[in-house]
Amino acid sequence: MDRRVQRTREVLHRALISLMIERGYDAITVQHIIDRANVGRSTFYAHYDGKEDLLRSGMKNLNKQLLGYQRAALALKGSFRERGFAFALVLFEHANGHRDTYHAIVGKHSGAVVMDAMRALLADLVRNELKAYSLYEGSSDVPRSAAVQFVVGALMSILTWWIEEKSKLSPAEANAIFRRLTIPAILGEGKSS
């Protein structure tokens, strides 16, 4: 990618993030973004179809990072109990480094588009993980899609709690709570017979 194109995209992403922190996603218009980024409307539309496209493009970078970590963890030997949902720690660390942004995403001012994009990103990762460990294949009484939604909901809930409470827990500690709650449930431990 040309350096000018890359710089323009970075400026637009920074403008979107700063506006999300200040106003919430729903209150932002393309005009707000181009004013903050100090670029022309035609420049914006040369790169993105609209603010949702700009948002999704930024989520792709996070997705690449999480997917890379997931692939590396899955390549290592170990059980699901040891390695399951390893990408979640990277998510907590990322959130810790960008708390204001995550507060805007998971807080009261976020838009449905932002939450839907985050849930879709996480659902793909969880689906990959369950498939890689051959969990919830045909023989389970719980459909894989239900398990995926359960894990994504748990992860988003813990992340939201951790960010909104301004918890002093480290990313590793927040991740440990997520794992303590989800791994036994996914493995079917404590299930009544």
Q: Which pLDDT tens digit goes with each residue over 124-133?
A: 999 999 998 8
Query: For residue 143, what are the contacts with CB-CB under 8 A and spacing of at least 6?
Result: 136
User: How confident is the model over 22-44, as pLDDT tens digits?
Assistant: 888 888 999 999 999 999 999 99
Report helix, strand or coil for 180: helix
**Looking at the predicted structure, is the pLDDT value of residue 79 above 50?**
yes
**Looking at the predicted structure, is the pLDDT value of residue 193 above 50?**
no
Looking only at Cα atoms, what is the longest distance across the chain? 64
Residue 109: exposure state from Cβ atoms within 10 A (0-12, 13-18, ≥19): middle
Helical H segments across the chain, by residue range: 3-23, 30-37, 41-47, 51-75, 80-83, 87-97, 99-106, 112-132, 144-164, 171-187
pTM greater than 0.85: no
Give the per-residue pLDDT at 137.
75
How do the domains of the chain map onto residue ranges?
Answer: 51-187
Give the per-residue pLDDT at 124.
95
Report helix, strand or coil for 81: helix
What's the CA gap between 69 and 173, in Å, rounded? Answer: 18
Please tell us whether the domain made up of 51-187 is placed in CATH 1.10.357.
yes
Closest CA to 154 of 177, 171, 170, 131: 177
Q: Above pLDDT 70, what percent of the chain?
A: 93
User: How confident is the model over 43-64, as pLDDT tens digits?
Assistant: 999 999 999 899 888 888 889 9
Cα–Cα distances (Å) from 84 to 10, 36, 51, 70, 158, in that order, read 33, 41, 34, 9, 17
Give the per-residue pLDDT at 109.
58
Report yes or no: 55 and 25 within 8 Å, Cβ to Cβ: yes
Give the per-residue pLDDT at 191.
54
Give the per-residue pLDDT at 177.
96
What's the CA gap between 13 and 72, in Å, rounded? Answer: 28
User: How confident is the model over 85-122, as pLDDT tens digits?
Assistant: 999 999 999 999 988 888 877 765 566 777 888 899 99
Taking all residues of the chain, what is their mean pLDDT, rounded to a whole number? Answer: 88
